[in-house]
Structure 1
Amino acid sequence: MKWFDPERGTGLISQDGTGPDIRAESQAIRENGRCLCPGDRVLFDLTHDSTGLRADNIHRPKDARSQDGPGQHSDGQTPQ
């Protein structure tokens, strides 16, 4: 996750240095809280609509989820 503004419900996902950034909207997040933090690694379905690329079905990989909360992981490190 490049950035996410929970008040606006929008953000951008970078593609690990390849390709353009992808628009993310809170209604497409499939986890409780519907908010992600910069640096979170996410998986998603890519959709092309009239305004460009959009992420759907956004979720963290199973190995990145923890009880610590968004953006925090049991090993104390933030995903890259």
Structure 2
Amino acid sequence: MAQGTVKWFNAEKGFGFITVDGGGADVFVHFSAIQMSGYRALEEGQRVEFEIAQGQKGPQAEQVRALGSDSGVDTRSPARDII
């Protein structure tokens, strides 16, 4: 699976683009490829993993899953003691 960062995603239109780690062309992503229940949308800067398939107009993301806190893994920094 490839990993990358959401470049932008328009929730109203249901699509956006992901910048792939390691370079290369940005990958198109449609809301129907997002693997989550409920309202499927991504946020700019969100880390994701996905498969790359060839779409009608170029590479597109399939089986998109959020990495980090959206995937059930807590990625927050530990709390710091306040003195």
Task: Output the TM-score relative to the length of structure 2.
Answer: 0.73
Where does residue 38 of structure 1 map in the other structure?
44
Listed as ranges, the gaps of 5+ residues in structure 1 are 67-72
Give the number of the structure whose residues are more often strand, by fraction.
2
Q: Aligned-pair RMSD on alpha carbons?
A: 2.0
Tell me the number of residue pairs that the alignment of Structure 1 and Structure 2 aligns. 69
> Post-superposition shift, 1:16?
3.0
Query: What is aligned with 2:76?
Result: 75
User: Runs in 1 of length 4+ with deviation above 4 angstroms?
Assistant: none
Deviations 1:10-69 (A, max 9, x none): 0000013500000000000011321110010000010012210010000113xx025xxx
Query: In terms of Rg, which structure is larger?
Result: 2
TM-score, structure 1 as length reference? 0.75
